[in-house]
Structure 1
Amino acid sequence: MDTVYQLTVSPDFTPDHISGWYIFNTWLQRNLGLHIHLEMYDSFEAQRAAIRADRVDLIYANPFDASMLVREKGFRAVARPLGIADECVIAVPADSPVQHVEDLTPGVRVVSTDDPDIHLVGMIMLEPADLNKTNVQAVTADGYVLVAKALLKGEADVGFFLKDAWDGLSKVVRKQLRPLVVSQISDIQHAFLVGPRLMDSAEEIQDLLVRMGGLEKGSGVLEALGFQGWEAVDHEETEFMIDLMDTLKAE
């Protein structure tokens, strides 16, 4: 019986790309000649539990979890999407009197998802207002659409969005919100990682992803994912991003 490998995707992907990941998984199986099962988790904690239990072999991971995957679980980052960085948008309702981050005051209600890197970057961006986890009211939403809804319903004063998710909101919703600031870190990105059980295929998987746009049906799969393409990632670039995330966590 064929070995079944598991692919999973960071839970912060935009909902309109769910079908794209299933199409990607089918394409990947055909090109690698492997039996790969795509498992979607509805939270970062559920996904981390699967990683700790060694149930994950391939993962499109957020940068926050890269440290555990690489340094504790022996994964290797092989590729990242072209031109997509994990930037954070801090937004308020369009009619909010707040014009700048510095206008925010202690006790402000901050809504975010459980997306760890965006929450981390967002909190760092609130520091000019002397805000931190001890003097804000944290509100958690299950997705970025619900972050927007919490702001529109008056259940929160300010919200954190992954820029890709912000750009994916409908024009009607975005018209009712106003961005205060957008991060410009650029070195924090999601990446595609290969686990120990498939390490012998890491080079093949990297080559396949990098050439994806020129392969049969590859460009259509990229379009379904909302990607322009993939670029190769080497060990030094991975370590730099992990060190940067560790530095941000320590602040």
Structure 2
Amino acid sequence: MTFNLTVSPDFAPDHISGWYFFNTWLQRQLETGIHLELYDSFDAQRTDIRAEKFDLIYANPYDASMLVRELGFQAVARPASKSDETVIAVNVESDYQSVEDLKAGARIATTDDPDVHTMGMIMLESADLDKTNTEIKEQSSYIVVAKNLLNGGADAGFFLKEAYDEMSDLIRSKMRVLVSSQISVVHHSLLVGPRMAEYIPAIQQALLTMQDNDKGKSVLESMDVSNWEPMDSEQTEFMIDLIDTLID
């Protein structure tokens, strides 16, 4: 039997090869077939997830609630020292020096990354802004969000902090961060579905010792991950409750 793996679409394009290396490595560790399928769109991926197409998912925190509480997935590990933080940035030549400087009618460039967009909108509340008095411009990627800021097509943009930090020095030099979230307990995680439940102990053991040999360490480096940390049900439920509270 071949299982199916997918990855939340918000990883940096430079790490695409890393996920293919990871998939090959994991198949060898588990001695079973795993097919990796990547998406450009969160909505398209979520449709296939709901259709129960996948058995192993590197998921963003927003989707964790659906996966755990509706589809019976179990979180087994998370990348160490990697939390999902959101950045609101503007063109470096902009007059805006803080979020509170933004006014009604502000054009906000964002992506369909659900947790980043949600956190960005929450951070706009300090300026009395919400979806009713801003112009939301959904873009296909964080690079396109940055282009919108640089060419004057948007007043501010939402970024996953990791994605913002991985942009070239040239692009970042033309933008300025107004605010960055500091939640620290919200993060991506690797979740295993019901059809693959029997492999959970082997998967967790393989991940937690991945950095201990040259091959595993090389794969981790290609993914920009130092090592994995275990996740239990209590940690998972805490993160899901926090996300649900923020959304509500």
Measured in 1, the distance between the counterparts of 2:58 and 2:189 equals 6
Alignment-mate amino acid for residue 46 of structure 2: R
The percentage of counterpart residues that share the same residue type is 58
Q: What's the secondary structure of 1:45's corresponding residue? A: helix
Match of 1:65 in 2: 63
Match of 2:84 in 1: 86
Which of 186, 209, 224 is the aligned partner of 1:188? Answer: 186
Match of 1:228 in 2: 226
Q: What's the secondary structure of 1:11's corresponding residue? A: coil
Give structure 1 stretches of 5+ with no counterpart.
Answer: none
1:216 Cα deviation from its structure 2 partner: 4.7
User: What is the CA deviation profile of residues 70-111 of structure 1, one whole-angstrom value per residue up to 9, with x for unaligned ones?
Assistant: 000000000000111100011000000000100000000000
Alignment-mate amino acid for residue 112 of structure 2: D
Measured in 1, the distance between the counterparts of 2:213 and 2:48 equals 32
Residue 161 (structure 1) aligned with residue 155 (structure 2): no
Measured in 2, the distance between the counterparts of 1:60 and 1:52 equals 15
Measured in 1, the distance between the counterparts of 2:166 and 2:111 equals 16
**Aligned length, in residue pairs:** 248
Measured in 2, the distance between the counterparts of 1:182 and 1:42 equals 25
Measured in 2, the distance between the counterparts of 1:171 and 1:88 equals 19
Residue 122 (structure 1) aligned with residue 120 (structure 2): yes
User: What is the CA deviation profile of residues 16-43 of structure 1, one whole-angstrom value per residue up to 9, with x for unaligned ones?
Assistant: 0000000000000011101000000111
Match of 2:100 in 1: 102
Which of 171, 174, 187 is the aligned partner of 2:172? Answer: 174
Measured in 1, the distance between the counterparts of 2:104 and 2:214 equals 55
Calculate the TM-score normalised by the size of structure 1: 0.98
Measured in 2, the distance between the counterparts of 1:130 and 1:230 equals 39
Match of 1:12 in 2: 10
Deviation above 2 Å: which 4+ runs of structure 1? none
1:203 Cα deviation from its structure 2 partner: 1.4
User: What is the CA deviation profile of residues 160-216 of structure 1, one whole-angstrom value per residue up to 9, with x for unaligned ones?
Assistant: 000110011000000000000110000100000000110011111011111110135
Measured in 1, the distance between the counterparts of 2:98 and 2:46 equals 35
Which of 172, 196, 199 is the aligned partner of 1:198? Answer: 196
Residue 147 (structure 1) aligned with residue 145 (structure 2): yes
Calculate the TM-score normalised by the size of structure 2: 0.99
User: What is the CA deviation profile of residues 131-159 of structure 1, one whole-angstrom value per residue up to 9, with x for unaligned ones?
Assistant: 00111000011111111011111110100
